[in-house]
Structure formats: C-alpha cells, structure tokens
C-alpha cells in the first residue's frame, strides 16, 4: 500500500536550502549554531498557529454513536492523531523546506489510514468485525487538514519569509564582521 500522508509544503524551500548552506559555511561553530537555532525557532513559531488549529480541529471533532461503549476509544484516537501532527524542517541538499504532516509512524497499525480517511470524508469498515456486513461511514466534519492549511497558509508563508530574511541579514552581518 503506498504511503499517504496529510501534508503541506510551505513555499520557500529553496530559500531554506540556500540559507542553510550559507550558515554551514561559517567557521565559528557558536555563530553557526546560533543562526541555525534562530532559524528553526522562528520557523516553528511561525507554524505554531497552524499546528494548534489542526490539533484543535481533530480533538474537537464531533463523535457519533454510542459514547458509553466506544467514546473513550474515539477520544484516544483523536488525541493520537493530534499528537502525530508535527512540523518538519529539512535543510538537506536533496530535500529542503518546511512541512506540516501527520506522521503515520506515531499512530497504531490500525489507525495509520485514519487521518487520510477523515480528510477524504468517508470510509468503509466491517460492522463489529463482521466481514460479511460492511458499512460506509462519513466523517462528521469532512476535510479537516486542507481547510486549516488554507486559513493559515498566507500568514505562515509571510512569517517564515520574514524569519528567513532576518536570519539572512544577520548572516551577512556575521560574514562581514
């Protein structure tokens, strides 16, 4: 089965790559570490509203069905999906950029497809494990990942660009001095 993640790639990957490469060329290890830390912290701060919104959306998703029997399991699954929603900052030669993903490796084996299925809006499953009787279940909120990303995309892109520009200006100052 192909790996399917709910993910968003923030614009500016080439800028992250170029800036990271320039920081790596610094000779002073303290300056290098300081600028890398500043860049990572700034990017994480810029992405925090999106991460918070994604996690809140999945945690507060309405639950249908018998809450007395299965409600606690549903809350646990939603909390695990929220916890698996993470930010990745990549500064490598081949792949560079900022991604917000639901890391399927942090979910149980039976839950790995759930974020994608919730985003798609429906899925099929057997009724109480009876493989003779299947039902199509619809997500009570529909897509949850893409709308949150669209709400935050412009502000996050501006904030990340501002952080990268600030780090680039400091890098120029360090290189001159």
26 located within any domain: yes
pLDDT in tens, 41-61: 998 999 899 999 999 998 888
In this prediction, residue 38 carries a pLDDT of 93
Show the tokens assigned to 159.
């904030």
pLDDT in tens, 65-124: 555 544 554 788 889 999 999 998 887 777 777 788 899 999 988 888 888 888 888 878
In this prediction, residue 94 carries a pLDDT of 74
Q: What mean pLDDT, rounded, does the chain reach?
A: 82
Domain range for residue 148? 7-176
42 located within any domain: yes
- CA-CA distances (angstroms) from residue 46 to 16, 26, 49, 56, 114? 14, 25, 7, 17, 27
Q: Is the pLDDT of residue 133 over 80?
A: yes
Report the number of distinct structural domains present in the chain. 1
118 located within any domain: yes
pTM over 0.85: no
1 located within any domain: no
Q: Please, which pLDDT band fits residue 10 given cuts at 50, 70 and 90?
A: low
48 located within any domain: yes
SS3 for 18-63 is HHHHHHHCCCCHHHHHHHHHHHHHHHHHHHHHHHHHHHHHHHCCCC
- CB neighbourhood size of 14 (10 A): 10
2 located within any domain: no
- CA-CA distances (angstroms) from residue 111 to 126, 154, 175? 15, 31, 49
């Amino acid at each position: 089965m192909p790996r399917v993640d709910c993910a968003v790639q923030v614009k500016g990957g080439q800028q992250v790559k170029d800036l990271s490469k320039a920081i790596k060329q610094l000779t002073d290890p303290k300056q290098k570490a300081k600028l890398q830390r500043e860049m990572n912290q700034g990017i994480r701060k810029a992405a925090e509203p999106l991460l918070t919104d994604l996690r809140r959306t999945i945690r507060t998703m309405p639950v249908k069905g018998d809450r007395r029997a299965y409600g606690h399991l549903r809350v646990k699954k939603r909390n695990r999906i929220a916890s698996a929603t993470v930010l990745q900052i990549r500064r490598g030669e081949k792949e560079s950029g900022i991604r917000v993903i639901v890391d399927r490796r942090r979910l149980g084996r039976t839950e790995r497809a759930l974020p994608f299925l919730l985003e798609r809006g429906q899925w099929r499953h057997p009724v109480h494990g009876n493989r003779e009787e299947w039902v199509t279940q619809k997500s009570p909120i529909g897509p949850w990942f893409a709308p949150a990303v669209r709400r935050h995309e412009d502000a996050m892109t501006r904030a990340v660009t501002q952080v990268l520009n600030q780090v680039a200006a400091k890098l120029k100052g360090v290189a001159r001095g």
